[in-house]
């Protein structure tokens, strides 16, 4: 038996007819196939007709020596970038002719299939429409929406409560941090004021010390006499020999040297 599956990767399977019939029988009944298809398969298996041979498994007279063997083929056809073989360049495939009895049977089966599928689609459409447009259904939908809305409100209230708690906690932390910053700023300002006060007191103390030597109306006569007794001349010069020449009271250098020699 040669069976070719219609998958993305073509598989060529060779097995005996009895094994294939057993596999088909188990597959259809284990997958809970429709009763109609089960009857059709049983009828075809019992009749062993030519149509069943061609439609289901394309039976041939050759028998495989092993019960089951599998060979995997990568491509179903040649890739489109490969050219046509020279032996098939001008070859025209002969169109396969379907026997009339087989054609009629296939047509009948296809018509039955389409009729049944159309009935199922219409039935499901009617059921879906009835389930979505009835009064009870609309009431149930409205009730579900109201329940969902109430649930959303409850969740929103929970979120608001949790966010409010977090906000109060954050605000309390910020308030405490601001209080600490204010206390630090006040302490820093107090230290700066104390330092400025100490500097001012030091300046006042120094000024008081200097005030002892100030000239007042009481000691002005004494200051005048002291200034006359101790004249001070800030006009002086230094020559190249490092001699200091002090203004009008300075004696000539020659006389000074003579006095030094004496």
In contact, 249 and 233? CB cutoff 8 Å: yes
Q: 250: which residues sit within 8 A by CB, 6+ positions away?
A: 236, 244
Question: 45 exposed, middle or buried (CB, 10 Å; 0-12, 13-18, 19+)?
Answer: middle
Q: Is 26 helix (H, G, I), strand (E, B) or coil?
A: helix
Task: Give residue 74's pLDDT.
Answer: 59
Predicted confidence band at 4 (pLDDT cuts at 50, 70, 90)? very low
In contact, 67 and 19? CB cutoff 8 Å: yes
As a whole-number percent, the residues of the chain with pLDDT over 90 amount to 35
Domain boundaries, the chain: 1-75
In contact, 41 and 57? CB cutoff 8 Å: no
Predicted confidence band at 80 (pLDDT cuts at 50, 70, 90)? confident
Range picked from 26-40, 71-85, 187-201, 243-257 for highest mean pLDDT: 187-201
Task: Give residue 75's pLDDT.
Answer: 64
pLDDT tens-place string over residues 17-36: 444 555 555 555 445 444 55
Q: Strand pairing partners for 68?
A: 15
Task: Say yes or no to pLDDT of 215 above 80.
Answer: yes
Task: Give residue 114's pLDDT.
Answer: 97
Q: Which of 62-66, 71-75, 83-87, 188-192 has the lowest mean pLDDT?
A: 62-66
Task: Give residue 223's pLDDT.
Answer: 86
Mean pLDDT of the chain: 76
Task: Give residue 245's pLDDT.
Answer: 77
Residue 209 to residue 203: CA distance in whole angstroms: 10
Q: pTM of the prediction? A: 0.31
Q: 20: which residues sit within 8 A by CB, 6+ positions away?
A: 1, 3, 57
Cα Rg of the chain, angstroms: 61
How many other β-carbons are positioned within 10 Å of the β-carbon of residue 41?
19
């Amino acid at each position: 038996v040669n069976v070719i599956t219609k998958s993305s990767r073509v598989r060529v399977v060779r097995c005996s007819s009895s094994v294939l019939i057993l596999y088909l029988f188990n597959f259809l009944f284990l997958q809970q196939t429709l009763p109609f298809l089960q009857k059709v398969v049983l009828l075809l298996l019992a009749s062993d007709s030519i149509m069943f041979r061609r439609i289901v498994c394309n039976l041939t007279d050759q028998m495989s020596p092993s019960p089951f063997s599998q060979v995997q083929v990568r491509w179903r056809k040649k890739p489109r970038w490969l050219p046509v073989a020279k032996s098939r360049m001008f070859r025209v495939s002969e169109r396969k002719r379907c026997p009339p009895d087989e054609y009629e049977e296939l047509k009948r089966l296809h018509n039955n299939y389409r009729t049944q599928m159309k009935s199922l689609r219409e039935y499901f459409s009617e059921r879906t429409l009835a389930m979505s447009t009835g009064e009870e259904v609309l009431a149930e939908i409205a009730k579900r929406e109201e329940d969902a809305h109430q649930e959303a409100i409850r969740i929103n209230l929970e979120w608001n409560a949790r966010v409010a708690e977090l906000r109060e906690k954050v605000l309390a932390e910020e308030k405490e941090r601001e209080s600490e910053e204010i206390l630090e700023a006040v302490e820093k300002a107090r230290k700066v004021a104390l330092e400025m006060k100490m500097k001012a007191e030091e300046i006042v103390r120094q000024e008081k010390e200097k005030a002892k030597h100030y000239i007042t109306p009481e000691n002005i006569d004494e200051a005048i006499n002291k200034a006359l007794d101790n004249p001070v001349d800030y006009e002086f010069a230094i020559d190249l020999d490092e001699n200091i020449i002090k203004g009008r009271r300075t004696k000539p250098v020659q006389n000074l040297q003579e006095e030094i020699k004496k």
